[in-house]
Amino acid sequence: MRKRLSVLFVIGFVMVFVSLSSLHSEDKPEAPRIALAVPFAMTPNTTTKVVVRGWKLNRDIEARTTIGNVGLRVIKHENANISNGQEAKLIGDTQIELDVTIPQDFSAQTLPITFVAGGVESNSYSLLVGGRFPVVAEIEPNDSFRQAQPIAVPQIVDGQIHADRNVDTYSFLLTEERRVTIEVIARRQGSGLDSLLTLFDSKKEIIATSDDAELTDSRIEVVLPAGKYFLVVQDAQDHGGSASPYRLAVGY
């Protein structure tokens, strides 16, 4: 009889503990999560409007960073648009628009940010700051060889595949034979872009292509003689939209 009472006591205790744990977990809100930021790179001594996409972001929320002298101001939070062919489970279904102010003396290469809502904190996301080469923005229209955007070498271009079947075309000149490295950074930063990179010579003939070098990001390394060249960045599935930013780096 005593053994039976002991067993009943243990069962009762476990049931009460599970019930209290369940009530506690129901009271605790689900943590926000960050998928990507557009743009995901910025320059010191500027204020940039950044749209951060993810999940559980469409509510009162606070932006935080572990680095001082950086300004983070939340402007609004809302549901996010899902472009054709892209999936909410990969790029998020809610978003926050905020102003990010980077001081002139900012020396780090990344800026970690998080969001706090209801007392729970999101995962950390690292915005890129500056770059090892001079940085320029993509200029539309650059959808063909005739409209190719001229860039220097070395150069970093911050761009975006704006819509389905969109391509971005760049041109550059080499005055002597060089080993050139061309790299797309996109999925590593959470972008929905599945990049496809193609290098052409001055006659528009393909020299090299790259699809998935790291995750779905592209990378070409090749020795090129002096001359004019074209680069085309696109999505391998021909998808695009507001969640398809990229950083193109061309260097020696």
DSSP structural state of residue 187: G
Please state the rounded mean pLDDT for residues 193-213: 97
Q: Where are the beta strands (DSSP E) in 110-148?
A: 110-117, 120-121, 125-129, 135-137
User: Where a domain ends, among 95, 129, 163?
Assistant: 129
Residue 1 domain-assigned (yes or no): no
pLDDT(26) > 80: no
- Contact criterion met (CB below 8 Å) for 184 and 197: yes
> Given CA atoms 250, 236, 187, 242 in this order, what sign does their dihedral have?
positive
List pLDDT tens digits, range 7-16: 444 455 445 4
pTM for this entry: 0.85
Last residue of a domain, which of 110, 129, 148?
129
Lowest mean pLDDT among 14-18, 45-49, 90-94, 199-203: 14-18
Query: What confidence score (pLDDT) does residue 35 get?
Result: 97
Residue range of the domain that includes 184: 135-251
Mean pLDDT over each residue of the chain, to the nearest integer: 91
pLDDT of residue 27: 64
Domain boundary among 105, 129, 153: 129
Residues 152 and 245 in one domain: yes
Peptide bond before 39: cis, by omega within 30 degrees of 0? yes
Structurally, the chain folds into a number of domains equal to: 2
Identify whether residues 63 and 144 lie together within a single domain: no
Are 52 and 73 in a shared domain? yes
- Specify whether 186 is located in the same domain as 229: yes
